[in-house]
Amino acid sequence: MFERFFPDEYMASTYVIPFEKLYEEGYRGVIFDIDNTLVPHGAPADERAEKLFRRLKEIGFESCLISNNQEARVKMFNRNIGTKYIYNAHKPSTKNYIRAMEMMGTDRSNTVFVGDQLFTDVWGAKRAGIHNILVKPIHPKEEIQIVLKRYLEKVVLHFYKKGLKNK
Set out the domains of the chain in order of their start, with CATH numbers: 3-165 (3.40.50.1000)
Q: Show pLDDT as tens, one digit a residue, over the chain (167 residues).
A: 678 889 999 999 999 999 999 999 999 999 999 999 999 989 999 999 999 999 999 999 999 999 999 999 999 999 999 999 999 999 999 999 999 999 999 999 999 999 999 889 999 999 999 999 999 998 766 565 666 676 678 777 877 788 777 76
Cis ω on the peptide bond leading into residue 92 (within 30° of 0)?
A: yes
Question: With contact defined as beta carbons under 8 Å apart, do 29 and 106 qualify?
Answer: yes
- Looking at residue 16, the DSSP 8-state letter turns out to be G
For residues 133 and 114, the answer to whether their CB atoms sit within 8 Å is: yes
Distance CA 49, CA 146 (A): 22
> Which ranges constitute the DSSP H helices of the chain?
19-24, 47-59, 71-78, 95-104, 123-127, 144-165
**pTM of the entire predicted model:** 0.88
